[in-house]
Structure 1
């Protein structure tokens, strides 16, 4: 039946409806046309077990041998040390390098590490680099240039099907591409691994003067490294991981490859003249790797199964949180949680209240609004603070360095962007009864628990856990606000400066506009995505 308009206004409405309908069908049609390439012919590869003849294995064997069945861990809390350690491992590798990261920036730190991978490949080292397709904005051309090396293969986890119109792919495939690989690990010669919270970028390695992330990695040796490698192999060979060469038809000529290599060499040579590179080059690599300071204990690697990225409601046996809950089940005295993005939800609040009711001391260290780089997550966290404080949970919120330039209204243009604060907590670590430590990539928020994939190392070492616990609490008392409730039940933020207590009755060091914007965000039903 033909629709006939009885007046111009109605005709306009009919036209709009028809146009909107056409757009909807076009979107649905284009979405249906989007698909990932067939990876049936993609080959599998695995860790190289025969590495006993490598220099790294020779260096670590005397350290591991006296500690039968145990693994060694060395904390990398300094950003500079964390990059030096990575460069040292890449430069020392003789057979294999396996890297798995969520974010890899094309900045000074990112390009220096990428150049080291190229040099390792030139030495004959097999390099496997697995990146999340959403979090690594290097671009297909840069990745293809590296992938063109005969000893380097790059794969992308859960890639977008439309490479040119990525935002379109995000919109039309949201249910799938919303699930990201948040894992971070580097393994050299199947002998030494680094696992923790750091991505690859200036802000993670103290190379950015505007923002510095306070983060934590563990360098590990011993049996636990085999588990890191097994987890990498599982992700590398999984159906969600695609060779970058399958995703792009772009071809480079030999001349272009040579020119790109020359351009890279010039960049690295110039970068070596910087003050930051001088600090890297002057660092004592052996001391950084902590050869004489390893903490020993039974250790294991926990990680989400990569199939979590395929499931709308992943089964419990796919989740790292299920494995971790077994560890939490043995708690009896103290729990210290360090998480930059902390959104416990009602169930989490109830769980922590239950621990306090059992006589367990629960302490949380997270970001203040002034220090966080994701205001939306803070909005999800803020609504649970009073209930946690009422139940007896101790909360510290890390603050920006008071001697640095703090956030101003000039930078409060959006609650979705990070502050201009000089320091932001990014470490993810849990300390149980001063004898067990978890360090990894997992935040305590719905996204980490249910949407993204994560990894972490569990270390059973009273010496390490007690030492780390004490240092973190000392740091929190010096560099954080301690939250409490006044007689009316409102939150008070207390900071200590020069031995004196300074109290605030609203979110400190942020403008009223930012506080209001973040409060508004909290009204939206987006908690499941935080």
Structure 2
């Protein structure tokens, strides 16, 4: 027996663990008994409070969607929470990241209260972005008006990352979409997930992050797309994955009390005041909100992308190419993670040779929260500059949010000082806003969602904000006379020139150089 014990001790742990995971049958349960549901037609929700407020406006603008940009983080939070409070028929909610922090807990309590009023809640979450949420979601899923599904879920729950050992090919594909739709009358899409750092980042104006609120035909498009994801073979009922809550007192009642206590906590006071002070819902209901009316094309990856069953023509990147007219004058592009690849560099070179101005804003190393992404992007800076692209890197934004918020710094998402908006304008005529980053992961691995908005008013808003803000909040990257990179920081009365990545130490720069040598670009 001692000999056997000693032999076992000599066996490497990870191969044994991986084998045990495979042999234990870590397979997803069958989907045969999954209930079916669809979004309510807009004609059925016209008599809701939201429907009565919105229908006269949409009837007056047939074929067009009403759009409001939401660059301010507090407005973006208030809009979501107040729409959930106003809903009477349904809330369809789809997110990549949802954290059990202040804003995440407040939003969960808002959904719970809506369910208590009889509103049907469908909550679709990517399973990679809900760390620490299993018990909460298991309890919420007990509510008769709340159904939760997990997209491309992990079977091993703790620690989740063990799943990558046996199923990396599947689990490397994630749902990056973000939307909240109330009564199929109003929707919010864009770059923000549900977590404190997305609703508390100060400074950076339009570029810290960006969502759009929409009414009209674009809402119906989002609802149909939500139905497609909800019914996909990658969406699993949370009960099948998370199991039942621990036995004991009513888990739903305990959760409701916990959420209520959280709502009244000191940490929630800033957001509670935001809701109290917001005039958003009142203005919406009495028709005082000012919308920009425009044709809107929704672009979205087929959820089958994560199963490897869709062709290139179904990719959002291809839909974007079809939806955009050939640029004639300019492209202004904002992307926190920007890895153009050789093909992207060649495209920009061709555009510049045709006399089309290309301007790009992305994160600097000091602001980027994913060093590996920056390492891959850094290889393309010189080729981009030689091609004629005007390149800017956002400086680390000051965190001016009130201290009582105790905001997190973004282990899985953005830091409060990062650029996170995903948007671009073409010729001052067309604006894109969505979840799509210009990197290989958004193109090939993650599913994405966005709006192509044919609105000179909104496109020129982006260009104007770029002109006004970028010089004061970003470094311009240029080539020096020696062909090496320089970073220009324009201060009030002078321009400071850096010969290496500003705001970083040698250790971080060495780490980025190391990552740039690794063949990992296709995974980023």
How far off its partner does 1:318 sit?
2.7
Report the counterpart of residue 338 of structure 1 in structure 2. Answer: 334
Root-mean-square deviation over aligned CA pairs: 2.6
Closer/same/farther in 2, CA of residues 76 and 26 from structure 1, 3 Å limit: closer
Q: Is the 8 A contact 1:372 1:419 kept in 2?
A: no
Count matched residues: 502
Closer/same/farther in 2, CA of residues 297 and 444 from structure 1, 3 Å limit: same
What is the CA–CA distance in structure 2 between the aligned matches of 1:417 and 1:242, rounded to whole Å? 26
Q: 2:394 aligns with which of 379, 394, 398?
A: 398
Q: 2:37 aligns with which of 36, 45, 61?
A: 45
Closer/same/farther in 2, CA of residues 418 and 224 from structure 1, 3 Å limit: closer
What is the CA–CA distance in structure 1 between the aligned matches of 2:367 and 2:16, rounded to whole Å? 44
What is the CA–CA distance in structure 1 between the aligned matches of 2:37 and 2:249, rounded to whole Å? 27
How far off its partner does 1:280 sit?
3.4
Report the counterpart of residue 297 of structure 1 in structure 2. Answer: 294
What is the CA–CA distance in structure 2 between the aligned matches of 1:150 and 1:490, rounded to whole Å? 62
How far off its partner does 1:300 sit?
1.6
TM-score (norm 1): 0.89
How far off its partner does 1:199 sit?
0.3
Closer/same/farther in 2, CA of residues 403 and 284 from structure 1, 3 Å limit: closer
Aligned pairs for 1:428-447 within 5 A = 428-447=422-441
Q: Which moved more, 1:158-167 or 1:423-432?
A: 158-167
Q: Is the 8 A contact 2:209 2:420 kept in 1?
A: yes
- Secondary structure (helix, strand or coil) at the match of 1:274 reads helix
How far off its partner does 1:287 sit?
7.5
Closer/same/farther in 2, CA of residues 108 and 422 from structure 1, 3 Å limit: closer
Closer/same/farther in 2, CA of residues 499 and 219 from structure 1, 3 Å limit: farther
Report the counterpart of residue 346 of structure 2 in structure 1. Answer: 350
Report the counterpart of residue 194 of structure 2 in structure 1. Answer: 200
Report the counterpart of residue 172 of structure 1 in structure 2. Answer: 166
Q: Which moved more, 1:242-251 or 1:231-240?
A: 242-251
What is the CA–CA distance in structure 2 between the aligned matches of 1:305 and 1:288, rounded to whole Å? 36
Q: Is the 8 A contact 1:108 1:271 kept in 2?
A: no
Long gaps (5+) in structure 1:
1-14, 406-415
Closer/same/farther in 2, CA of residues 419 and 324 from structure 1, 3 Å limit: closer
Closer/same/farther in 2, CA of residues 369 and 273 from structure 1, 3 Å limit: closer
How far off its partner does 1:517 sit?
1.0
Report the counterpart of residue 124 of structure 2 in structure 1. Answer: 130
Closer/same/farther in 2, CA of residues 198 and 397 from structure 1, 3 Å limit: same
Report the counterpart of residue 520 of structure 1 in structure 2. Answer: 514
- Secondary structure (helix, strand or coil) at the match of 1:456 reads strand
Q: Is the 8 A contact 1:404 1:422 kept in 2?
A: no
Q: 1:308 aligns with which of 265, 286, 305?
A: 305
Q: 1:362 aligns with which of 358, 361, 373?
A: 358
Q: Is the 8 A contact 1:320 1:454 kept in 2?
A: yes
How far off its partner does 1:281 sit?
2.0
What is the CA–CA distance in structure 1 between the aligned matches of 2:177 and 2:448, rounded to whole Å? 5
Report the counterpart of residue 180 of structure 2 in structure 1. Answer: 186
CA-to-aligned-CA distance 1:252-279 (integer Å, 9 cap, x gap): 5453332222222122122486244323
CA-to-aligned-CA distance 1:270-323 (integer Å, 9 cap, x gap): 248624432332222247869432111100211000000011x85213310110
How far off its partner does 1:420 sit?
11
What is the CA–CA distance in structure 2 between the aligned matches of 1:146 and 1:420, rounded to whole Å? 27
Q: Is the 8 A contact 2:197 2:415 kept in 1?
A: no
How far off its partner does 1:30 sit?
2.9
Long gaps (5+) in structure 2:
1-6, 402-409
Q: Is the 8 A contact 2:297 2:323 kept in 1?
A: no
Q: 1:79 aligns with which of 73, 79, 84?
A: 73
What is the CA–CA distance in structure 2 between the aligned matches of 1:487 and 1:155, rounded to whole Å? 56
Structure number with bigger Rg: 1
What is the CA–CA distance in structure 2 between the aligned matches of 1:141 and 1:419, rounded to whole Å? 22
Q: Is the 8 A contact 2:201 2:417 kept in 1?
A: no
Q: Is the 8 A contact 1:336 1:363 kept in 2?
A: yes
Q: Which moved more, 1:463-472 or 1:236-245?
A: 463-472
Closer/same/farther in 2, CA of residues 499 and 68 from structure 1, 3 Å limit: farther
Report the counterpart of residue 22 of structure 2 in structure 1. Answer: 31
Closer/same/farther in 2, CA of residues 508 and 421 from structure 1, 3 Å limit: farther
Closer/same/farther in 2, CA of residues 404 and 495 from structure 1, 3 Å limit: farther
What is the CA–CA distance in structure 2 between the aligned matches of 1:507 and 1:271, rounded to whole Å? 39
What is the CA–CA distance in structure 2 between the aligned matches of 1:182 and 1:223, rounded to whole Å? 23
- Secondary structure (helix, strand or coil) at the match of 2:478 reads strand
Aligned pairs for 1:59-70 within 5 A = 59-70=53-64
- Secondary structure (helix, strand or coil) at the match of 2:264 reads helix
What is the CA–CA distance in structure 1 between the aligned matches of 2:312 and 2:11, rounded to whole Å? 45
Report the counterpart of residue 240 of structure 2 in structure 1. Answer: 246
Q: 1:456 aligns with which of 450, 460, 475?
A: 450
Q: 1:483 aligns with which of 456, 459, 477?
A: 477
Q: Is the 8 A contact 1:304 1:318 kept in 2?
A: yes
- Secondary structure (helix, strand or coil) at the match of 2:55 reads helix
CA-to-aligned-CA distance 1:392-429 (integer Å, 9 cap, x gap): 00011110246979xxxxxxxxxx97999752100100
Q: Is the 8 A contact 2:398 2:417 kept in 1?
A: no
- Secondary structure (helix, strand or coil) at the match of 1:134 reads helix
Closer/same/farther in 2, CA of residues 487 and 143 from structure 1, 3 Å limit: same
